[in-house]
Amino acid sequence: MERNSGILMHISSLPGKYGIGDFGIEAYNFIDFLFNSNQKNWQILPLGITGYGDSPYQSFSSFAGNPYFIDIEEFIKSNFITKAEIKLYNLDSNNKTIDYHKLYENKYKILKMVYQRSFSEIENELKTFYKNEKEWLRPFAIFMSLKESYNGKSWLRWEEKYRKFNSIEVKEFEKKNQKELFFWIFTQFYFYKQWTKIKKYANNKGIKIIGDLPIYVAEDSADIWSNSEIFKLDEKLIPKKISGVPPDLFSQTGQLWGNPIYDWNKMKENNFSWWIKRIKHSFKLYDILRIDHFRGFQAYWEVDYGSEDAVDGKWVKGPGIDFFKKVKEQLGELDIIAEDLGYLTEEVHNLIKETGYPGMKILQFAFDGSPDNNYLPHNYIKNSVVYTGTHDNNTTKSWFEKKNDDNKKYILDYIKSEREKEISWEMIITAWSSTADLAVAPIQDFLALGSEARMNTPSTLGDNWKWRIDEKKLNKKLSQKIAYITQLYGR
């Protein structure tokens, strides 16, 4: 990896007039901003279709993209819908935060209207797209259509005849509901068409997209419904064990994620083929892939299904280096970042060394008073990625404000600064000046924003994933400031 830098901001946080950041003009404007700021990377969160809780880490499919990100302007230009019609759905009432309930209620209505009007014109394109992507798109389209017929209920609450993916009843449903299925194919056609254009635009400007791959898939997903044999489920297809992490810096009761656990032995028998397909698919979307919760490949924390928290669980051995050898054998050398945060053992460190992937260094975790802290810049190795904070952290400004006076003094002494009011920038400079090959900071830190701009607070529901940027903040003055420090520190 060459020495360079980038900015972390999810698509949903982009400005725009349709209730959420999307693949419209503002995405291209942000790429221009990155280019003018001398940045070589745009890091985003998972692009999957979201459900309850709105988390991009809990998606209805590992392969399908989020229809919320589809740019409606394309449909206006194609005369499939008018601006006046879109106005009736009131998506643009608040550009500061995302109202997911309103999006769910109204954006799908717009997309369905466009689908009905455009189908005869784009039918052949949709069929070609479906043929090329059928392996993942067929189960996804059937799953979402069935889910809609059950008013959004989890597949575990469907009638038994529909809970087995290739049952006679599911095949009958597929035959009788082609129109409904093709709506979901339509959403994926436009998602991939628009995203491919954005990625190409970024790449042509020398900017790489860093994507994010959650280690687990959601319980309520097409992945588990159509591949139940590779998960630890009982005879009624109810998960036996679910995922999480033990008590840590983020939570005293641990984090109960609730995702079903893989049956790694079954996966190994099949040469990890589902995972290989998933990673291969991810590299169509991204140039570099951050694998979330990397330590779970060495050993993962599993908890009994139905547990209220993640305290009473146990560590279970993961697939280890065998998995990554198979990935390399099948897909070659890949640009992967290992999200190696949390409770790390010598075995985890050894696995990361063996893969050769760069790990992550978080400056907000560095200042516990110990000079041996791995997150302090003087302990970095070049093959690593330094962040001021991630989407799970508070903004640097609010993180610092919550420290006591002694800790604040220690931080300022270490970063050789007296500019307490400029702490966000001072921490960015600390990251940019470090020896780590790649330095990344969330856009919130470049804007020196407080906790009102926090993206996610782990183990909480309701106020996450909603933040959006004010487009006026992405100005020439800011890009020049970023470009200057980037040039200064050889990134």
pLDDT for 386-432, tens place per residue? 999 999 999 999 999 999 999 999 999 999 998 888 999 999 999 99
pLDDT for 222-247, tens place per residue? 999 999 999 999 999 999 999 998 88
Length of the chain: 491
CA–CA separation, 19 and 143 (whole Å):
26
Cβ atoms 420, 412 nearer than 8 A: yes
Cβ atoms 115, 183 nearer than 8 A: yes
The β-bridge relationship of strands 208-213 and 288-291 is parallel
Question: What percent of the chain shows pLDDT beyond 90?
Answer: 91
Position 109 pLDDT exceeds 90: yes
CA–CA separation, 420 and 168 (whole Å):
66
Closest CA to 384 of 353, 415, 406: 353
pLDDT for 275-328, tens place per residue? 999 999 999 999 999 999 999 999 999 999 999 999 999 999 999 999 999 999
Confidence of residue 51 (pLDDT cuts 50, 70, 90): confident
The β-bridge relationship of strands 241-245 and 208-213 is unpaired
Confidence of residue 250 (pLDDT cuts 50, 70, 90): low
Position 70 pLDDT exceeds 90: yes
Q: What's the confidence (pLDDT) of residue 462? A: 82
For tokens 């400079």, the residue is 429
Position 251 pLDDT exceeds 80: no
Position 252 pLDDT exceeds 90: no
From the candidates 54, 223, 292, 340, give the one annotated as an active-site residue: 292
Domain boundaries, the chain: 4-488
From the candidates 74, 287, 309, 392, give the one annotated as an active-site residue: 392
For the question of residue 471 being annotated catalytic, the response is no
Mean pLDDT of the chain: 95
Q: Collect all residues with Cβ–Cβ distance below 8 Å to 332 and sequence separation of at least 6.
A: none
Strand partners, 260: 242
pLDDT for 152-209, tens place per residue? 999 999 999 999 999 999 999 999 999 999 999 999 999 999 999 999 999 999 999 9
For the question of residue 405 being annotated catalytic, the response is no
CA–CA separation, 301 and 13 (whole Å):
31
What mean pLDDT is predicted for residues 69-93? 93
Q: What's the confidence (pLDDT) of residue 319? A: 97
**Where is pLDDT greater, at 157 or 95?**
157
DSSP code of residue 428: H
CA–CA separation, 222 and 65 (whole Å):
13
What mean pLDDT is predicted for residues 213-224? 96
Single-letter residue type at 221? S
Cβ atoms 37, 467 nearer than 8 A: no
Position 93 pLDDT exceeds 70: no
Furthest C-alpha separation in the chain: 70
CA–CA separation, 352 and 382 (whole Å):
14
Burial annotation 264-289 (CB, 10 A radius, 16+ → b, else e): beebeeeebebbbebbeebeebbbbb
DSSP code of residue 338: E
Per-residue tokens: 281:
């698919």
CA–CA separation, 381 and 357 (whole Å):
12
Helix axis angle, 100-149 relative to 168-176, nearest 10°?
120
CA–CA separation, 50 and 60 (whole Å):
6
Q: How far apart are the first and last CA of the chain?
A: 12
Cβ atoms 348, 340 nearer than 8 A: yes
For the question of residue 392 being annotated catalytic, the response is yes
Cα angle: 118, vertex 122, 127; to 5 degrees: 130
Q: 10 Å Cβ neighbour count for 244?
A: 23
Identify the CATH assignment for 4-488 out of 2.60.120.10, 1.20.58.110, 3.40.50.300, 3.20.20.80.
3.20.20.80
Strand partners, 441: 7
Position 460 pLDDT exceeds 90: no
Q: What's the confidence (pLDDT) of residue 248? A: 73
Position 92 pLDDT exceeds 90: no
The whole-angstrom distance between residue 277's C-alpha and the CA centroid of its chain comes to 18
pLDDT for 332-359, tens place per residue? 999 999 999 888 899 999 999 999 999 9
Give all strands of the β-sheet with 41-43 in edge-to-edge order: 336-338, 288-291, 208-213, 41-43, 4-8, 438-442, 384-387, 359-362
